[in-house]
């Protein structure tokens, strides 16, 4: 494994400041505002009259009261980049949560057919006992990882101002964590919901701006009333939701959606259906797994429930307060520095021509696995709210290992292109087939096939003490609460793009 120079101080890496000196990434098409669903769905039509709401303005929506007297964000360059840490050494001696690291070896077939070995480190590298992640991360999404995972790699393998990318960004965990750490966030997902969920949290509006806008929206104006949704919502609530949908679509069609609208859209999506009075719906599954009308009818009958009226405005405001809890002035300054440089794409991870070659310092990602995810079934209600056709979204969900490997190889080819020489990919693969299929072994040849160098495998086991005895190269079956991350590096002397 190529050695990595020692890092001078871990503390400096945690400092979320943004040296302009290091920002060498500014795709012309995207500089002012990350591309979003709002831009892509400009053709959606719904005619209602002009709204008494301001169009996108410079920043008044972000006039967080706490922020008012602050000096402008620092523009002066900070110190030059520090050398990166010897990550393998750090992992080997890691004892932050009381356990010693177990050192194993992961074996995979090399290009010449001979077995190749990669050092593998098992420990509780991040844990629920750590300080909670930022409140801004509190958005649900199917198969998301904890913010501590990307943070672990971002802090150790990048400097503030460098580009961190997630080609399967989901709810945007990596992208937001990168921004919170003063890195330039970059993400892609084939699911159009992904940008809707991610972008507003990169530069959140103030509570006052959200409250003001909610006060300006007419929640009784809808000329759409989909009666079949009355199994989820009280009639008054449904009218309010449909009115909000209509308002957002009209603003989108007029190209006048602003940051506050985007935030309200995100919050409405997040609060649409759920299992408590904090959601618009009567009791149902969590918001990332909408059930069908038929199933909801059964849930209502079984629980002897009818949808109660809910105050859509109040619910959006309450969740806004929760999400903004950790948005102190320093955090907002860091986000304001990097968010305008963010690039968020809705397209296949294997084809991202918008991203310049050799521009990304670190990829932290988790691909779709071998399980069956029916996008349209999970997302039909959220897509209805956004005016999208859920069936038009085609996720990569190969069920056979070789098809999955072929798909991942194409993604690695693209990641190799966008990575800077010397840049890293932390590729998290989950447990599938109850641990019988070791995706970390399956993914290693995919990266190697496109010229990436496998550095190490990191296994985070949050129940390490309980499962310690089962750890071994051939026995991963019981490690259910684990993340397995394969770390690749683009060699410094990489071939031409
Ligand atoms: C395991 S989830 C990632 C979750 C993410 N790490 C988070 O914390 O939210 C995998 C993601 O891959 C996306 N996806 C599936 N096929 C894709 C493709 N071909 N290109 C880009 N994204 C894809 C899915 O929409 C899903 O959001």
Per-residue pLDDT of 113-149, as tens digits, reads: 899 999 999 999 987 666 679 999 999 888 889 999 9
Question: Which residue range(s) make up the domain with 418?
Answer: 10-192+327-489
Residue 64: which CATH number?
3.40.50.150
Model pLDDT, residue 430: 73
Q: Does one domain contain both 177 and 261?
A: no
Q: Does one domain contain both 171 and 243?
A: no
Report the Cα 247 to chain-centroid distance in Å: 27
Cα R_g (the chain), whole angstroms: 23
Q: Flag whether pLDDT at 195 surpasses 60.
A: yes
The residue whose CA has the least distance to atom 10 of ligand 1 is 368
Model pLDDT, residue 493: 64
Q: Does one domain contain both 153 and 292?
A: no
List of residues 6+ apart from 345 with CB closer than 8 A: 35, 187, 188, 189, 195, 352, 354, 355
379 in ligand 1 pocket by Cβ < 6 Å?
Answer: no
In a domain, 497, yes or no: no
Q: Does one domain contain both 292 and 350?
A: no
Q: Does one domain contain both 453 and 472?
A: yes
Q: Which atom, in ligand 1's list, is nearest to the CA of 172?
A: 9
pLDDT band (50, 70, 90) for residue 433: low
In a domain, 494, yes or no: no
Q: Does one domain contain both 337 and 310?
A: no
Q: Flag whether pLDDT at 211 surpasses 80.
A: yes
pLDDT band (50, 70, 90) for residue 464: very low
Of the candidate ranges 277-291, 314-328, 431-445, 460-474, the one whose mean pLDDT is the lowest: 460-474
User: What does DSSP assign to residue 348?
Assistant: -
List of residues 6+ apart from 331 with CB closer than 8 A: 16, 134, 180
How far is Cα 139 from Cα 178, in angstroms, rounded to an integer?
Answer: 16
* Residue from 395, 409, 415, 432 to probe ligand 1 pocket by mutation (most atoms less than 8 Å from CB): 395
Model pLDDT, residue 371: 66
Q: Does one domain contain both 81 and 225?
A: no
In a domain, 437, yes or no: yes
In a domain, 450, yes or no: yes
Task: Tell me which of 266, 289, 321 is where a domain ends.
Answer: 321
150 in ligand 1 pocket by Cβ < 6 Å?
Answer: no
Q: Does one domain contain both 18 and 153?
A: yes
* Residue from 190, 193, 379, 382 to probe ligand 1 pocket by mutation (most atoms less than 8 Å from CB): 190
In a domain, 165, yes or no: yes
Model pLDDT, residue 66: 36
395 in ligand 1 pocket by Cβ < 6 Å?
Answer: yes
Cα–ligand 1 centroid distance for 393 (angstroms): 12
404 in ligand 1 pocket by Cβ < 6 Å?
Answer: no
Q: Flag whether pLDDT at 59 surpasses 60.
A: no
Give pLDDT tens digits for 365-407.
Answer: 999 887 656 677 788 999 999 999 887 887 777 778 899 999 9
In a domain, 198, yes or no: no
Model pLDDT, residue 448: 96
Task: Tell me which of 321, 348, 383 is where a domain ends.
Answer: 321
The residue whose CA has the least distance to atom 13 of ligand 1 is 168
Q: Does one domain contain both 148 and 22?
A: yes
Q: Does one domain contain both 459 and 383?
A: yes
Give pLDDT tens digits for 147-167.
Answer: 999 999 999 999 999 999 999
Q: What is the pTM of this model?
A: 0.82
Q: Does one domain contain both 343 and 305?
A: no
CA distances (Å), origin 166, targets 26, 226, 360, 369, 426:
17, 37, 10, 16, 10
Query: From the CB of residue 41, how many other CB atoms can be counted at a distance below 10 Å?
Result: 18
How many separate domains does the chain show?
2
Q: Does one domain contain both 387 and 441?
A: yes
192 in ligand 1 pocket by Cβ < 6 Å?
Answer: no
List of residues 6+ apart from 226 with CB closer than 8 A: 238, 242, 384
Model pLDDT, residue 434: 64
pLDDT band (50, 70, 90) for residue 12: very low
Q: Percent of the chain beyond pLDDT 70?
A: 75
Cα–ligand 1 centroid distance for 110 (angstroms): 28
Model pLDDT, residue 159: 96
Q: Which atom, in ligand 1's list, is nearest to the CA of 430?
A: 1
């Amino acid at each position: 494994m190529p050695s990595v120079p020692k890092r001078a101080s871990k503390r400096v890496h945690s400092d979320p400041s943004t040296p302009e000196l290091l920002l060498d990434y500014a795709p012309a098409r995207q500089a002012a505002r990350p591309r979003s669903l709002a831009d892509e769905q400009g053709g959606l039509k719904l005619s209602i009259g002009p709204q008494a709401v301001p169009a996108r303005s410079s920043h008044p929506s972000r006039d967080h009261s706490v922020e008012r007297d602050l000096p402008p964000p620092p523009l002066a360059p900070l110190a030059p980049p520090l050398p990166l840490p010897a990550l393998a050494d750090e992992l080997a001696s890691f004892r932050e949560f009381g356990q010693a690291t177990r050192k194993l070896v992961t074996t995979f077939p090399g290009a010449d057919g001979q077995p190749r070995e990669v050092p593998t480190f098992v420990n509780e590298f991040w844990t629920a006992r750590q300080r909670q992640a930022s409140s801004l991360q509190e958005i649900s999404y199917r198969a998301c990882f904890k913010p501590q995972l990307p943070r672990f790699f971002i802090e150790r393998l990048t400097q503030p101002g460098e580009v961190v990318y997630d080609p399967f960004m989901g709810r945007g965990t990596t992208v937001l964590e990168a921004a919170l750490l003063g890195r330039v966030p970059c993400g892609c997902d084939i699911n159009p919901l992904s940008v809707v969920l991610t972008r507003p949290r990169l530069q959140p509006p103030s509570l006052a701006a959200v409250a003001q806008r909610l006060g300006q929206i007419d929640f009784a104006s809808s000329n759409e009333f989909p009666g079949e949704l009355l199994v989820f919502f009280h009639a008054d609530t449904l009218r309010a939701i449909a009115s909000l949908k209509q308002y957002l679509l009209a603003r989108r069609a007029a190209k006048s959606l602003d940051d506050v609208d985007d935030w309200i859209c995100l919050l409405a999506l997040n609060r649409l259906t759920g299992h408590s009075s904090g959601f618009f719906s009567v009791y149902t599954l969590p918001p990332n797994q909408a059930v069908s009308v038929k199933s909801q009818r059964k849930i209502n009958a079984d629980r002897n429930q009818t949808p109660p009226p809910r105050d859509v405005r109040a619910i959006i405001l309450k969740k806004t307060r929760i999400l903004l809890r950790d948005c102190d002035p320093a955090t907002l300054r860091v986000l304001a520095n990097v968010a305008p440089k963010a690039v968020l794409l809705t397209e296949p991870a294997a084809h991202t021509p918008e991203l310049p070659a050799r521009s990304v310092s670190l990829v932290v990602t988790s691909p779709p696995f071998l399980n069956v995810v029916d996008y349209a079934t999970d997302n039909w209600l959220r897509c209805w709210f956004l005016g999208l056709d859920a069936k038009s979204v085609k996720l990569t969900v190969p069920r056979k290992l070789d098809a999955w490997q072929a798909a991942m190889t194409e993604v690695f080819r693209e990641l190799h292109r966008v990575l800077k020489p010397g840049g890293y990919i932390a590729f998290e693969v989950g447990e599938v087939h109850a641990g019988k299929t070791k995706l970390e072994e399956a993914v290693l040849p995919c990266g190697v096939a496109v010229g990436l160098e496998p550095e190490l495998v990191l296994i985070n086991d949050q129940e390490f003490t309980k499962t310690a005895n089962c750890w071994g190269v051939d026995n991963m079956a019981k490690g259910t609460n684990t993340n397995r991350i394969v770390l690749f590096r683009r060699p410094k002397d990489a071939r031409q793009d």
